[in-house]
Amino acid sequence: MAERTDREILSSLKGFIFDMDGTLLESMGLWDKLYADLFAEDGLTMPDGFSLAVNHLKLSDCAEYAVRNTPIRMSREEVEEFWHDRALEAYSNRVPLKPYAAKLLSLLVKHGGRIGVATALGEDLFWPCLKQHGVAPLFWSGTSIEEVGVGKDKPDVYIRECSKLGLRPSECAVFEDSHIGIASAKKAGFFTVGLYDAASAEHWDTLKYHSDLACRSLRQAYYAFKNAYSGV
């Protein structure tokens, strides 16, 4: 049997699971600032590598990591509240979608795709953001790592969201800018779309290695799928 072409593979996918920060949203710089602001509040400088160490974790685990592994003098609860309150304001009002995000989502839905979210953000952060940009109705469902209890180094968040879409991993694509997330999704049997983000540029080669389709932008992903659908 002949191997399927790239166009055939892309056009056959039924589900599309998106990360939020750094994938659909231009927001990774926001978290770098929120992390730095926390340490500044305590008269400290953010340790090197802190952002990369915690970006794939849920907020409570980020706070736990900060308390256990840095000189921060706040409690875990105080750290979590500090970040959550500032993040809620930002996601509800001013975090932008990346260029071509809405066009890509609309294209996939137009061709019968089921769209979902798999994110480290809590539901109280990601749904207001999607609603603010008018794209929430395009999504079937969403899953936070808070719901599954483990970070993206395990594929649980993608598998849970895939189940909500009523599909199998082999029928779904996972869109990620995290090399940690893309690797676990790949091992779980998902088609993987790796997306470049400046905040994680140093891991681009690793991201590409674990990606079935590696894209420098959502614009590139949009045209890859548009071209695939044009041949159907």
Residue among 98, 116, 127 nearest 30 (CA): 98
**Residue 97 bridge partners (DSSP):** 25
Separation of alpha carbons 120 and 8, rounded Å: 31
pLDDT range class, residue 3, cuts 50, 70, 90: low
Name the H helices within 6-114.
6-12, 28-41, 50-54, 59-69, 76-93, 101-110
> pLDDT over 90 for what percent of the chain?
84
Whether residue 83 contacts residue 59, with contact meaning beta carbons closer than 8 Å, is answered with yes
Average pLDDT over residues 167-183: 96
Phi-psi region of 143 (alpha: psi -120 to 50; beta: other; left: phi over 0): beta
Residues 8-67 have pLDDT tens digits of 999 999 999 999 999 999 987 888 899 999 999 999 999 998 988 887 788 889 999 999
Tokens (6 digits) for 212: 């079935």
Ramachandran area for residue 134 (φ above 0: left; ψ -120 to 50: alpha; else beta): left
Q: What is the pLDDT of residue 16?
A: 98
Question: What are the residues facing 214 on neighbouring strands?
Answer: 194
pTM (2 d.p.)? 0.90
Per-domain residue ranges of the chain:
6-26+96-230, 28-93
Q: How far apart are CA 18 and CA 30, in angstroms?
A: 19
Multiple choice CATH, 6-26+96-230, 3.40.50.920, 3.30.450.20, 3.40.50.1000, 3.20.20.140: 3.40.50.1000
